[in-house]
Amino acid sequence: MYRNCVLIVCNYEYLKVCEKEVRQNMKRCIIVGAGEFHEKAWKYEKADYLIAADGGFEYLRKLKIIPDMLIGDMDSIKQEYVGSEMEIKKLPREKDDTDMLAAMKEGLAAGCKEFYIYGALGGERIDHSIANIQCLLYLHKHGAKGVLYGINDRIELLCNDKVCYPATMEGILSVFAFGGDAKGVSEHGLKYSIQDAEMKMEFPIGISNEFIGQESMIEVKDGMLLLCIHAINGEKVM
């Protein structure tokens, strides 16, 4: 009997080690926040590292999905719904990190390099959306990429790089200089095209471009751009 108990404990510890190794090999981290959330627009696979950032847990609960981790000060969660199936990290209410930034740090610690953050935009407080946009820069400085999603909006950061979109992409694309002036900016395959332009922080000239059913490309050679895609006609953003 005691031998069986020891075996069970050993197997449990072995499974925990294996789980840790799997997470360290993960590349995608999915975070769900408490902002606007479109349940039909989000992408999630079982191999992803899924984190609920405080009130984002309510969205997952309604979808009957258990995250790998729940993190936050728990001020937006009904405690009776929190079970033992997930790892829980309760944070103090007074802290330097937002719940979203704390969730991103957990994803980075797990070895993730791609972050898809849903429920990151909109909601009652615009300051949370701005804070989440700043967090994209935190991910970039730590060797990772992130995309923020709201119901009809998607925001990502582009730094000294280029990104291509398929011909199936729809909606409005706005491009802003971020963190300083951006040089060598090109936009092709869109309603309005530019080549090797300079975008100033104080002049939002890149607002309201449009996808036109062609493969498109955005490039910046020196600086950072904030790419904002807004879905129209009720379409979801990818």
Q: How far apart are CA 168 and CA 11, in angstroms?
A: 48
CA distances from 156 to 3, 84, 92, 133, 197 (A): 54, 34, 29, 8, 20
Q: How far apart are CA 37 and CA 114, in angstroms?
A: 19
pTM here is 0.84
What pLDDT, on a 0 to 100 scale, did the predictor assign at position 11? 47
What residues of the chain score a pLDDT lower than 50? Answer: 1-18, 20, 22
Same fold, 1-151 and 153-238: yes
CATH 3.40.50.10240 fits 153-238, yes or no: yes
What pLDDT, on a 0 to 100 scale, did the predictor assign at position 83? 64
SS3 9: helix
Buried b (16+ CB within 10 A) or exposed e, 5-25: eeeeeeeeeeeeeeeeeebee
Superfamily of domain 1-151: Thiamin pyrophosphokinase, catalytic domain (3.40.50.10240)
Domains of the chain by residue range: 1-151, 153-238
Dihedral (CA of 138, 143, 145, 146) sign: negative
> Which of 206, 198, 187, 203 lies closest to 223, judged by CA?
198
What pLDDT, on a 0 to 100 scale, did the predictor assign at position 6? 41
Q: What is the pLDDT of residues 49-72, one digit of tens each?
A: 999 998 899 999 889 899 999 998
What pLDDT, on a 0 to 100 scale, did the predictor assign at position 232? 75
